[in-house]
Chains A and B, each alone.
Chain A
């Protein structure tokens, strides 16, 4: 059974860079033709797609965040990561790592709350 687990700081100061890592277990991040992605959800609000990465490194970012987002993959550690720069309070959210497929998002991490505050 595939499992995804987010890790990283729960508190980030305004203007700094948010960094999260997703560790994939129960399967290899590079053994199948899947993308891997990040989705966020501000408290009490809806879901927003941040971006996706293929194991080879090709990426797609949401244009609304593109100038601040970097997603990378480390196949040796079976992990992929998110960096979001110049954060503000509006970036406070639960961040999910997930596996998007041609049939919807079938696996999700449990989510991690990141609060932007000084």
Chain B
């Protein structure tokens, strides 16, 4: 099983801020990493796959980087609709696993 450490678990920020979320793997996964956004009471939505490829329709203020064991999600200019919980997920090997989540809240 590939374990994932996602940090921070809680991030307080203001509209317009640049925020970064980290995800570290227990072993290398090449670029088989996705990022999701989840709002309360809703299913997660795919933001980024292959570590850095933006899913169709996702705003360009979202970006992803990294490979191997260390990955980052960056929101360049936080908007009101971006306050949500974010998860990383590896799909390099079964069982696919998710990070613990990062809640981005209004400061």
Contacts and interface: CB of A to CB of B under 8 A. Distances in A.
Interface of A: 46-49, 60, 62-64, 96, 98, 100, 102-106, 108-111
A108 B43 contact: yes
Interface residues of B, number: 24
A110 B34 CA distance: 20
B46 A110 contact: no
Interface in B36-95: 36, 42-46, 48-50, 53, 55, 87, 89, 91, 94-95
Interface centre among B1, B36, B43, B99 (most CB of A within 10 A): B43
Given A103-B53, A105-B34, A49 B44 contact: no
B11 to A, nearest CB: 16
Given A46-B87, A47-B44, A110-B43, A62 B49 contact: no
A46 B99 contact: yes
Contact of B50 (A96, A103, A105): A103
B97 interface: yes
